[in-house]
Structure formats: C-alpha cells, structure tokens
Amino acid sequence: MKIAVRYYTKTGNTKRLTDAIAEADETDMKAAAEFAKKIVG
C-alpha cells in the first residue's frame, strides 16, 4: 500500500516524524492503524 503524507514544518520536527513513518514497514503501519481505531473508537 502506498501512502502520501503532506506536511509543513518550520523546525524540522514534523519532517523527522514523517521520515519515520515512511521508513516503517506495512506491518508497523497496520498495527498503528489498529491501535488508533481502538483509541478513537
């Protein structure tokens, strides 16, 4: 699955976060999505 992430950053913190997301494999992304569903409801 391909995901596009758009961001704006002044300090670079958001870029570091999106870089980490880009490096995560599909299994990590699926686990994060399932976790988010449980938190949000």
Asked whether residue 6 is assigned to any structural domain, the reply reads no
Specify the pLDDT at position 22. Answer: 75
DSSP 5-41: -----SSSHHHHHHHHHHHS-HHHHHHHHHHHHHHH-
pLDDT tens per residue across all 41 residues of the chain: 666 777 888 898 888 887 887 777 665 666 677 777 777 75
| Total of domains in the chain | 1
Asked whether residue 41 is assigned to any structural domain, the reply reads yes
pTM of the shown model: 0.45
22: domain range?
11-41
Write the DSSP symbol of residue 4.
Answer: -
Asked whether residue 1 is assigned to any structural domain, the reply reads no
Specify the pLDDT at position 12. Answer: 87
